[in-house]
Amino acid sequence: MALVSIIRLSVSEAARMFGVSQRTIRRAISDGQITYVVVQGRYKLNFESLLKWSQDTTTVRNKRDRQGIGQYVNQWKIKNKLYSPNPKTLEDNPV
């Protein structure tokens, strides 16, 4: 069984990654759209909830694709898009 580690981002990292302002991220936190934990007085946001939020909100989805991580998708060299990342790679590199 492979262990899955939870990826957490700060508010500023999430804003840069998704091409939106920190204020937009904080508003989504206040609205309960993004899950988080507080570590040493700072929000650490669950990447999975950030991704779901960015897919559910049209404006954010468009900004993500133009200004955030989505602008780099065409440059990624993904050989087998059916299984990306390759499940065997995850098993070989336990976290």
The two three-digit tokens of residue 60, written as one number: 């954010």
Q: How long, in residues, is the chain?
A: 95
pLDDT(4) > 90: no
Has this prediction a pTM greater than 0.75? no
The confidence band for 84, taking pLDDT boundaries of 50, 70 and 90, is: low
The residue ranges of every structural domain in the chain are 8-92
**Residue 12 and residue 43: Cα distance in Å, rounded?**
10
The confidence band for 6, taking pLDDT boundaries of 50, 70 and 90, is: confident
Q: Is omega for the bond preceding 87 within 30 degrees of 0, making it cis?
A: no
Answer whether 72's CB lies under 8 Å from 79's CB. Answer: no
Percent of residues, the chain, with pLDDT higher than 90: 45
- Of residues 36 and 81, the one with the higher pLDDT is 36
- Of residues 1 and 78, the one with the higher pLDDT is 78
Hey, what CATH class is 8-92 in?
Answer: mainly alpha
The confidence band for 11, taking pLDDT boundaries of 50, 70 and 90, is: very high
